[in-house]
Amino acid sequence: MSDQDRKKFVITRFDPDRDDEPRKQTYEVPVEPYWKVLDALNFIKDEIDPTLSHRWSCRMAVCGSCGMLVNGKPSLTCKDALSDYGDTIEVEPLSNFPVIRDLVIDLDGFMEKLHGVRPWIIRAKQRAAEEGTYRQSPEELEQFRQFSMCINCMLCYAACPVVANEPAFIGPAAIALGHRYNLDSRDEGNAERNGIFRGEGTVFSCSYANECSEVCPKHVDPAAAVNQAKINAVIDWAASFVVPRGGGE
Tell me if 99 sits within 8 A of 22, measured CB to CB. yes
pLDDT of residue 249: 47
Which three-class secondary structure state does DSSP give residue 30? strand
For the chain, list the domains and their CATH numbers. 3-105 (3.10.20.30), 108-242 (1.10.1060.10)
pLDDT of residue 246: 56
131-163 pLDDT per residue, tens: 888 899 999 999 999 999 999 999 999 999 999
Tell me if 142 sits within 8 A of 116, measured CB to CB. no
73-84 pLDDT per residue, tens: 999 999 999 999
Which three-class secondary structure state does DSSP give residue 39? helix
Query: What is the pTM for the complete model shown?
Result: 0.90
Question: What is d(CA 239, CA 249) in angstroms, rounded to the nearest whole number?
Answer: 14
pLDDT of residue 18: 92
Residues of the chain with pLDDT under 50: 1, 248-249
How many angstroms separate the Cα of 169 from the Cα of each of 139, 156, 173, 175, 193?
A: 32, 13, 11, 10, 15
